[in-house]
Amino acid sequence: MKKLLRTFIITLIPLLMVVACKHQTKEEEVSPENTAEIKKNTDHITKEVYTDDFGDQLEIAINETHNTAVVRLNGKTYDLKKSDELPEFTAADAFYQFSDVRGEVTFLKKDYNMVLFHHKKNKTSSSDTKMASY
């Protein structure tokens, strides 16, 4: 019985040591997470929040590196692609369109031509500059 117990312990201890010593290498720990963070840091992203006359808030995140826009309105998120054909900044998909043209921010549903959000940016006042008349 003692011989059986001794051989069992002698074979069990090295087996437990091998299993306990296995761990992830540094390459496995660093590689997947850091590459995602590096890609995020290299993208040029601008975020803005607009509030319309009704108190609704529209949050827009524009990724200028990939020419995409993420629009959040009323708890829903819309991923849009920038359109080069339309003026200034316009992004759209098959159903929705976001545009920021001459200080007017508009988010609409294309199928019904329904405006979901509209906001006019405040223009800088030119009353501070005075023009001379002769």
3-state secondary structure 59-77: EEEEECCCCEEEEEECCEE
Res 86: pLDDT:
67
Provide the mean pLDDT of the chain: 77
Tokens of 68: 């995409």
The whole-number average pLDDT for the span 107-121 is 86
Contact 58, 105 (CB under 8 A): yes
> Model's pTM, two decimal places?
0.57
